Chains A and B, each alone.
Chain A
Amino acid sequence: MRDIQKILTFCKNHKQFTVFCILALVVIGAAVFAPFIATHNPYEAVIANAEQPPDAKHWFGTDKLGRDLFSRVIYGTRTSLTSALLLVVITLFAGSALGIFAGYFGGVIDSVIMRISDMMISFPGLVLAIAIAGILGPSLLNAVIAIVAVSWTKYARLARSLVLRIKHKDYMSAAVLTGSKTGYILRNYICKMTMPVLIVTAATDIGTMMLEIAALSFLGFGAQPPIPEWGMMLSEGRAYLQTAPWMMFFPGLAVFIVVAVFNLLGDSLRDILDPLCD
C-alpha cells in the first residue's frame, strides 16, 4: 500500500514525466501486443490488393505487394524498439566499461582507449557507419554494430570523466586501504556512482538512435525485406510517391511519433534527475 502511495505522490509531483511514461508504455504495448492489434498478417502479400488507398478494411492502405500497411507499421514498432533498445544498451555498456577502465586504471589502457576514441570523434559518425554497414553486408544486426562502433566514444568519455572525478575521494582511498579487491571497488563504488548519469544519457539517446537505424535501413544497409521496418518501408514507398503517397506517409509518421515520445521522456527524465547528478 505504502509503495503505491509513494508512486502516486511521485506521479503527482512529476506530471510531465508521468504523461510521457504512459505514452512510452503505449508504444511498448503496441510492440508487445502487435499480433492482437494488427488487422492482417504483415507478411501476407495479396497482389490483387496492391497499392490500395486507406479505407475501412486497410486503415493505412496497402503496399506494392498488397500487404496491409497498418499491420506492418504496428509490427514495425517491434523491429524499431528492439533494435534501438539493443543498440542503446550495447553502446551504454561497451562505452561505459571502456571509459571506466580507462579512468580507473589510467596509464597505457587509458591512452589506448582514449586515442581510439579521439580518432572516432574527429570523424563524422554516419560516414563510418555507412562504410561499416556496407562492408559487413546489409542486415539489421550489422547496422546496430556499425552504429555502436561510432557512438560508444561519447559514453566512454563521459564515464571516464565521472570516474576521474570520484577516483581520489576519501572513501575510495579508504576502500583501497582496507584491502577491497579491484573488482569489488569497480562494482560497488565506481559503477554505482557513475551509472545513474550514464543511464540518463542513454535514455535521452533512444530517439536519436532510432532515427539513425531508420536512416541506415532507408539507405538499404539495415533491415532487409520482408521484415517490417519503418526506414525500409519508407524507401520501398519512395518509388510510389506519386501514385501511393500513403506508403510514405504512415511509416514516417510512426517514426516521428515514437521518436518524439522517447525524446520527450528522455528530456523530462533528465529534468528530474539533473539536480541530483550535479
Chain B
Amino acid sequence: MSVRRKACIAGAFEHPTRKAPDKTVAQLHAECARGALEDAGLRLEDVDGYFCAGDAPGLGPNSMADYLGLRPRHVDSTDTGGSAYLIHVSHAAQAIATGKCDVALITLAGRPRSEGSSGVAPRLVGAGTPDVPWEAPYAPVTVNMYALAAARHMYEYGTTSEQLAWIKVAAATHAQYNPNAMLRDSVTVDDVLASPMISDPLHRLDCCVVSDGGGALVVVRPEIARSLKRPVVNVLGGGEAIKGQLNGQVDLTFSGAAWSGPRAFEEAGVKPADIQYASIYDSFTITVLMQIEDLGFCEKGKGGRFVADGNLISGIGKLPFNTDGGGLCNNHPANRGGITKVIEAVRQLRGEAHPKVQVPDCSLALAQGTGGLLGSRHGSATLIMERA
C-alpha cells in the first residue's frame, strides 16, 4: 500500500522566536500547535492523531497529549533525532490511509539556546545505550562526528572546504530575506574559511545555529484538505532508514539518504531531476553535500562541484535549497531541524515563500532529514510533496 496522495499537509507553523528564556518547552509546543491549527483552519477538537519525539517533555505522547487537551485515537513517538518529524509525516499519512486518524498534529519545540546547549558538548544519552562504553572515552561530540565524514569525503573525492562553504553562502543568501532568521548577514566563502576551526575540517560557519523555538504540522485526509481554504499539498512518498557503523565495516562515504531517498522516489513515482525545490537537513555543511549526492541530485563524489558557485541559490542555481536560511542561518529548534524542513517546503508549494526566494510555479518539493550523528549512527527520512 502506498501513501501517494492519501494525505495532505494542511497546516504548517514555525514559531517566530529564536530565544525563549521566559517560556517552558511545553508552552512552546502548545503555541506551535495553535499556530499550525490556525493555519489549517482547524480546531483543537478536530485532532485525532498526535505525533511527537524526544524533545517533547514527559513520557512519549502521554504528557503532551494531556497538556494540549487532546484525545487522540492514534499516537506515534518515533524518535530518530532531527529527522523524526519527516518520519512523522510519513507515518501520519500511513495512519490516515488506513483509517486510524483523520487529522494528525505533529509538534516540536525546545530551548537549547536558553539552556546553553552546544555542538562541542557530549551528547546526552540514556543509561544503557550500548555503544557508549566503547566510544565515550574518545570524546565524540556532535561536531566531530560530522567532521569525520567530511574528512573522509575530502580524502575520497577531493572535496574542498571552499566547496562546503558555498552551502553556507547559499543559506545566508536566502536568510537575508527572512525577518525571523537568527543570522541574516550575507557571508562569503572567505568568511567561512576565516571562521575558527572547530573540528577539522569544519569551521564555525560550517555549523548550524543553536536556537530556541519549534514548529508544528497538521496532516489530514484529502477530503478534509479540500474543504479548507489553504492550498492543498499532497504527500507523494516517504522513505526512512537507520544507518550505523555496519557492524564495524564503517563507511562514511554515504548517509542514510542513500537508502531512504530511493524508497521515497519510488513511492512518489518521480525522479530527482523532477524536484523543483529541496529542503536538505543542514546541521553542518557536509550533511547537505552528502545528502544531495545520496538523493541522486548529482553523482556520488561530485557533490562538491555541484554545490559550488551558487548552484543552491534560488533564482541562480539548479537546485534551490533551504530558502528560509535553513539550520545554518535561520533556525534549528530543539537541535532538531526536521520540522522546519517540511515547513519551508510547504511554503514553497503554496507559493508563500519570500518573493525573493520563491521558486516560480513550485509544484514538486522534497524534504530530507538526517538525525543523530552522520559519522556514527543516524536516522534518515525523505519526504516528497506536491501542490495539488
A is bound by B = no
